[in-house]
Amino acid sequence: MSFRVLRPGVLATVQDLGRRGLQHLGIVAGGAMDPISHRLANALVGNGVGAATLELALTGPELLIGRDALVALHGARFAAEVDGVPFPQSRPVLVRAGARLRIGRVTAGCFGYLAVAGGLQVDPVLGSRSTYLAGRFGGWRGRVLERGAEVPFAADMETLAAERFGRIGARHRAIPLGPCKTVRWLAPGVTLPEHGESVIRTLAGLHAVLFDETARDLLHGARWRIAPDSNRMGFRLLGPRLALARPVEIVSQPVCLGTVQVPPAGQPIVLMADHQTTGGYPRIAEVIAADMPRLAQLGPGATLRFAEATLAEADAARETLGTRVDQLVERILWEFGDEGD
User: What CATH code is carried by the domain that includes residue 209?
Assistant: 2.40.100.10
What is the model's pLDDT at position 338?
58
Q: Is residue 334 part of a domain?
A: no
Q: Are residues 166 and 50 in the same domain?
A: yes
Interval 208-221: pLDDT, tens: 999 999 999 999 99
Residues 177 and 213 in one domain: no
Question: Which residue range is the domain that position 264 belongs to?
Answer: 198-309
38 and 145 in a single domain? The answer is yes
Q: Are 306 and 290 in contact (CB under 8 A)?
A: no
One domain for residues 153 and 257: no
Are 21 and 135 contained in the same domain?
yes
Measure the CA dihedral 74/42/91/257, to 10°: -20
95 found inside a domain: yes
Residues 6+ apart with CB under 8 A from 277: 23, 26, 27, 28, 254, 255
How far apart (Å, rounded) are the C-alpha atoms in residues 179 and 98?
9
- Show which of 188, 222, 247 is a domain's final residue: 188
**DSSP string for 65-117:** E-S-EEEEEEEEEEEEEETTEEPP-SS-EEE-TT-EEEEEEEEEEEEEEEEET
**Is the distance from CB of 58 to CB of 85 less than 8 angstroms?**
no
Same domain, 164 and 224: no
What does the pLDDT read at residue 164? 93
Give the chain's domain count.
Answer: 2
Are residues 70 and 113 located together in one domain of the fold? yes
**3-state SS class at 261:** strand
Residue 168, pLDDT score: 87
Same domain, 284 and 206: yes
pLDDT digits (tens, 9 = 90+) for 218-274: 999 999 999 999 999 999 999 999 999 998 888 899 999 999 999 999 999 999 999
In a domain, 335, yes or no: no
pLDDT on residue 2? 78
Full-model pTM: 0.95
CA distance 308 to 221: 10
Q: Are 166 and 158 in contact (CB under 8 A)?
A: no
Is 157 part of any domain?
yes
Same structural domain, 226 and 121: no
CA 7 to mean position of chain CA atoms: 21
Q: Which residues of the chain have pLDDT under 50?
A: 339-340
Q: How far apart are CA 124 and CA 141, in angstroms?
A: 11
State residue 1's pLDDT score: 64
